[in-house]
Structure 1
Amino acid sequence: MAKDARLPTVLEVVGVLVLFIVIMFSFMNLLELPIQLALFTSWFMVIGLGIWLGFHYKKLQDGLLQGISNGMEAVLILITVGALIGTWVAGGIVPSIIFYGLSVINPSIFLFATVIICALTSLATGTSFGTVGTAGIAMIGIGQGFGIPLPLVAGAVISGAYVGDKLSPLSDTTVMTSSLTKVNIIEHIKSMLRVSTPAFVITCILFLLVGFFYVGNNVDLTQAEEAMGALQNHFNIAWYMLIPPLIVIALLALKQPSIPTITFGALLGAIWAFAFQGIPFLDAIQTSYGGYSIESGVEFMDTLLNTGGMVSMLEVILLILLALGLGGLMEVTGILRVICETLLKWADNAGKVTLSTLIAAFFGNFFGGAAYVSVITGSKITEENYERLNIDRRVLSRNTEAGGTITTPMVPWSDGGVFMATTLGVSTMAYLPFLWFHFLVIIITVIYGFTGKFIWYTNDEYDSGDYDKNKVTSQV
């Protein structure tokens, strides 16, 4: 903080937050301007507050750049996923998965199967982005072939994808949260299972019921048959088209870094396009940058498969950079610190502490635009209250993920929200009502907080009988 600068008052913070919401609503709904312009305008609103508080512009700019730096990994992953989608369509990989899915999966259990497949993929790989960028786009294609509403399919895809993002020891947000809260990663996952298991079971039942009573009676298989015919006419469909995704999933499961692994997967797609689809190798490589283009004669298939490439992610990347920069400005001006101090005064029991963590983590997504920001705000803003009330840090880590990781795809301008909407071709507000796993995790977390269920205290014995406090409070 600059020497002569001061923290904003609560009234000033509330004013900024209200003005931010007004700007977002006005630009997106009334003026129909791009959300990027709304975020860019919000930069200068917060910069204006910072100068009013006595900050030098250089200090504010440094905070903005630091915020962008915190989320650059997501930007790099977006670039590689764009390349992967382009070559995997050209290589016949995505078309083959869609074809076999239409052939094998019964429409009545499709949504249930989608949740299970995406959950298993994300648990094995630890990445929701990788899951949605591979299995997710295939499920969208199959669902569209069956004539199932895409927001419903997207809800099933994202619900399954975030099971692993939240629970897999390979997940970056899981590792980061356990590290920030000083909770052993295995204990952190065991604590989250208390919430995620019932949430996942109920989610599966809901999608199964929707499949039987809604989808099963409304599916016209004519569209699916047309799609399968178009795919066979334009692509070489074969079992060996599934080799690249299996290799990528295996590498991610072996804890290989996401960016080079996904890039290698994109290269495999180009090789497959050259070897099995008859596309010249340079043209196949070009699809990693410019995407794939097809005219199959089936409109929805053309819409689905004319996609991918690094350039397809440029608008998304701009949006994420603007959101991250806003989060950095919120941090450097002390807005998040004031919110922290306010929550500290208010939260005086387990229920309020739980709710305050969910709010603080959600603020990280809403104003910081990234899951990484949310787990920082969720854990650091509220950890003092857990210590004051002698509540075990396993509860803090669990609540941080419930408010941070889980709410990321719910915010249209967050890295997760933008990625899901762009990759699946369904807007955030369209798929939001169907994120049943996410809503259930939040609801169950709040219920546990206010009922005291699975709220452990530092002087309690762990109910499994093998809880070692020294182990739990050690850094990952």
Structure 2
Amino acid sequence: MKEEAKKGSILGLLPLGVFLIVFLGSGVITGDFYKMPAIVAFIIATIVGFSLNRKVSLGEKIEVFCKGAGNIDIISMIMIFILAGSFSSVAKAMGGVDSTVNLSLSILPPNLLVSGLFVIGCFISISMGTSMGTIAALGPIGIGIAAKTGIPAPLVIGAVVGGAMFGDNLSMISDTTIAATKTQGCELKDKFRVNFLIVLPAAIITAILLATITSGYSLGGSTSYRYDFIKVLPYLGVLVGALCGVNVFVLLSFGVVFAGAIGLFTNSFGLFGFIEAISGGISGMYELCLLVIIIGGLVELIKLNGGIDFILNFISSKIKTKKGAEFGIAALVSIVDLCTANNTIAIVTAGPLAKDIATKFDIDNRKTASILDIFSSCWQGIVPYGAQVLTAAGMVGISPVELIKYLHYPWLMLACGIIAITFGIPNLNKVNKRKKEVA
């Protein structure tokens, strides 16, 4: 009986299947994969989860759901989302985004326009923590550069999307980074270092490739970009603080206060404008926070109904090595992202299961968090029905499918992720050994 219990039940995965059918089905039928809100699809899936396993009373199921929804990792994640939203909103309101973009463009080499735009996108996205914000900020500039130089607009916008996905994957205040580290129980700075080592070659190759393709183009005339360096400081402060290992709650709280102080000092807003920006940032995170709560409870119901044990047993029967388990985690989060077109949801959904797999096969939590973030982000930057590609394609006025061939960085990030798993890059055993020797 114990052995059967460990094998679990495929029926326990029915809620997840229902979610995918409802979410994907509505997208296929309507042609709009954002027509069905993910939160509604997850609520329907949760109702299905409650209807399973008649051996357990409804009261017990509610208790299990609430414990999952109120898990310490879930609540911590929500608090970080709220702080990250507040910081992004306040920094944007005081002009931080415009100043960061213009500062970057002012140092852009004229003979490396598209390559430089990609690098700027990397810097802005890693500072802002949002791919959509980066595309919104740099997209119009990229289109302007394309118009003045004759460089194909899809190529320029593809570079912008690539830069946006770089920071979406790595930024300390990105939803995906926060979700990946919290579900796997590792520090932001530790995940960043491992993740950075894996995707850096992709960024370098992309920059070189773009420079080579567009080397014959240049921007005629002189253009000046106005910026206030003081307004860039909050982003730099958060980035440096995160790399130094400052507690994320302290760091983001400091970022909100610092950005607010600069906004008040430069008269970008008044006291109530500062408060309104904080409120707007928090409001923007409401749906994501509620979604995380529901998913946290649903995962516990799936676990109660034997779904988690079934997948673990299935993977265990098919995978015999640590490397195979890492590919299994990569495939899991990739499939969920391809189905949901939302990398944060993909990580939050696949995260708890990935942690169980990682524990079973003794995979370092930094590597697991990096795999989750890399494979969800690369697909998010490629799928033609994802918000990033849809927005970028809309700016140029082309089909999202046509833009796919210009998305160099997401494709290279996918390749680097596969290579990292295949060849065990980075070798965390050596890294841990060196740390012990230094200590």
Is the contact between residue 378 and residue 403 of structure 1 (CA under 8 Å) also seen in structure 2? Answer: no
Structure 1 CA distance for aligned equivalents of residues 266 and 293 of structure 2 = 38
The structure 1 residue matched to 2:374, chosen from 406, 412, 421, is 406
Equivalent in the alignment of 2:357 = 381
Equivalent in the alignment of 1:77 = 80
Equivalent in the alignment of 1:331 = 303
Structure 2 CA distance for aligned equivalents of residues 258 and 455 of structure 1 = 27
Structure 2 CA distance for aligned equivalents of residues 145 and 8 of structure 1 = 53
Aligned-partner residue type, residue 145 of structure 1:
I
User: CA 1:176/1:351 → structure 2, altered by over 3 Å: closer, same or farther?
Assistant: closer
User: CA 1:453/1:152 → structure 2, altered by over 3 Å: closer, same or farther?
Assistant: closer
- Output one character per residue of 1:291-339: Cα deviation in whole Å (capped at 9) or x when no partner: xxxxxxxxxxxxxxxxxx3223323333333333333332332212101
| Residues 1:288 and 2:287 are matched in the alignment | no
Structure 1 CA distance for aligned equivalents of residues 28 and 78 of structure 2 = 27
User: CA 1:340/1:241 → structure 2, altered by over 3 Å: closer, same or farther?
Assistant: same
The structure 2 residue matched to 1:341, chosen from 313, 328, 348, is 313
User: CA 1:340/1:359 → structure 2, altered by over 3 Å: closer, same or farther?
Assistant: farther
Structure 1: give runs of 5+ residues left out of the alignment.
123-127, 291-308, 388-392
User: CA 1:467/1:212 → structure 2, altered by over 3 Å: closer, same or farther?
Assistant: same
Structure 1 CA distance for aligned equivalents of residues 47 and 207 of structure 2 = 44
Structure 1 CA distance for aligned equivalents of residues 183 and 37 of structure 2 = 32
Two-structure CA RMSD over aligned residues (Å): 5.0
Equivalent in the alignment of 2:66 = 65
Is the contact between residue 155 and residue 436 of structure 1 (CA under 8 Å) also seen in structure 2? Answer: yes
Equivalent in the alignment of 1:9 = 9
The structure 1 residue matched to 2:163, chosen from 156, 169, 185, is 156
| Residues 1:90 and 2:93 are matched in the alignment | yes
Is the contact between residue 39 and residue 322 of structure 1 (CA under 8 Å) also seen in structure 2? Answer: yes
Equivalent in the alignment of 1:132 = 129
TM-score, length basis structure 2: 0.68
Structure 1 CA distance for aligned equivalents of residues 36 and 220 of structure 2 = 37
Equivalent in the alignment of 1:358 = 330
Structure 2: give runs of 5+ residues left out of the alignment.
144-152, 394-398
- Cα deviation for residue 21 of structure 1 reads 1.7
- Cα deviation for residue 340 of structure 1 reads 0.6
Equivalent in the alignment of 2:140 = 144
Is the contact between residue 77 and residue 178 of structure 2 (CA under 8 Å) also seen in structure 1? Answer: no
| Residues 1:251 and 2:241 are matched in the alignment | yes
Structure 2 CA distance for aligned equivalents of residues 62 and 107 of structure 1 = 61
Aligned residues: 396
- Cα deviation for residue 48 of structure 1 reads 1.8
User: CA 1:57/1:193 → structure 2, altered by over 3 Å: closer, same or farther?
Assistant: same
Structure 1 CA distance for aligned equivalents of residues 18 and 220 of structure 2 = 47
User: CA 1:221/1:175 → structure 2, altered by over 3 Å: closer, same or farther?
Assistant: farther
Equivalent in the alignment of 2:229 = 239
Alignment of 1:391-402 (within 5 A): 393=363, 398=367, 400-401=368-369
Secondary structure of residue in 1 paired with 2:129: helix
